[in-house]
Chain A
Amino acid sequence: MYSFDYERPSGINEAVSAIGEDDKFLAGGQTLLPTLKLRLAQADKLVDLGGIAELKGISVNDSEVTIGAMTRHVDVADSADVKSAIPALSFLASHIGDAQVRNRGTIGGSISNNDPAADYPAALLGLGATVHTNKRSISADDFFVDLFETALEEDELVTKVTFPIPEKAGYAKFPNPASRYALTGVFVAKTANGVRVAVTGAGTCVFRQTDMEAALSSNFAADAISGIKTESSGLSADIHASAEYRANLISVMAARAVKAAS
């Protein structure tokens, strides 16, 4: 690693004022530290969010689940409140990476990084969640922009995410056997505002499969989407899977997600 300075503020405002042009926020470090170690990234200073108590925690009311940016994957996976309000969300969190990664990695870090194969972006887009920052609120539809790119500005800090509680939701992923990231993952949700189907891992950025949304809106059952194919042009192709294979996985994972929905 190149050398850097380190600061550990205890409040959101201090964190935002501490961040300069070539500095980075440090959350769970499960993406940032590996990239710094391999010298794929460099920072003048890391501003550690670990000391900011108000960024941590989960709260649930009748209509929403709110998760603080610094809440770890293990806390979402184990939360009895999340399990009863949106079981698919705790299921998703329990399948991120491995136990050690879940003990450090956070929701804020995952969505700010916007890895094309990350799990949480599918849940945010599938549930129509809202990302709250120190400056504004951004709908999931507007937040995830492109490969590793979000709507966040340089000095903008994710503070929490609110998820409207759906009638039912399900998530299914085909994990890359080496990394556990989603080779393709599909999150489906039947919400008050209609059915949403979000796909991660298959393209450069999480996206909605609108043909499946339309079919599931009239009949929320796996049979309703059995004939729906996704065009493979534009999907990712690499040593792990071709674009055609990923296109097929979208259908298979979507059907599994619908069957698992509760």
Chain B
Amino acid sequence: MTTVSMTVNGKQVSADIAPNTLLVQFIRENLRLTGTHVGCDTSQCGACTVHVDGDSVKACTMLAVQAEGADVTTIEGLAQNGELHPMQAAFKENHGLQCGFCTPGMIMSAVDLVKRNPNPSEETIRTELEGNICRCTGYHNIVKSVKAAAENMGG
């Protein structure tokens, strides 16, 4: 066992864990933040995407101990004072989800992509979301949602 400490959604957390604990296990099982999903075991689907020090990463492909001292944001950390984040609101508005399983990862990736590309073209949105797989929507409304959110976020 080893002790790990980090900030998750603005709160300092710390726990004794086995070194082979994945960041996503730590988030879901130790912190009980189950908005971050696990959709595959091959690091391909992106359902587990969270931000570590501001960058989108697959939480299933990082050890919790590698996030020692880091600032982590999960889907639960986006809404502020009961107000949805503009990206969440845009997904709701534009029907950017069906079953919703991929949605937390999509939204976390999309927030990072708009940070890096404040006024993204449809092509940029599609290539930047290559690490997120959706089995339901056909992506069209996801792209529309991200575009709308980027505009609302003042891109």
Contacts and interface: CB of A to CB of B under 8 A. Distances in A.
B55 A74 contact: yes
Interface residues of A, number: 29
A41 interface: no
B58 interface: yes
A100 B131 contact: yes
A100 B56 contact: yes
Contact of B19 (A5, A33, A50): A5
Given A8-B68, A180-B130, 20 more contacts: A1-B20, A1-B22, A2-B20, A4-B19, A5-B19, A29-B61, A33-B61, A37-B22, A37-B41, A38-B41, A38-B42, A98-B132, A99-B56, A99-B112, A100-B109, A100-B131, A101-B43, A103-B55, A178-B44, A179-B44
Given A4-B19, A6-B65, A103 B43 contact: no
B130 A98 contact: yes
Which size bracket describes the interface of B in this complex?
20 to 34
Contacts, number: 78
A103 B112 CA distance: 11
B20 A104 contact: no
Contacts of A17: none
Contacts of A2: 20
A97 interface: yes
Interface in B23-66: 41-44, 46, 49, 55-58, 60-63, 65-66
A194 interface: no
Contact of B20 (A3, A38, A103): A3
A112 interface: no
A40 B56 CA distance: 26
A30 B42 CA distance: 10
B15 interface: no
B109 A99 contact: yes
Contacts of A100: 46, 49, 56-58, 61, 109, 131
24 contacts: A1-B20, A3-B20, A6-B63, A6-B65, A8-B68, A26-B66, A29-B62, A29-B66, A30-B61, A33-B22, A33-B61, A37-B41, A97-B131, A98-B46, A99-B128, A99-B130, A100-B57, A100-B58, A100-B131, A101-B131, A103-B56, A103-B57, A178-B44, A180-B130
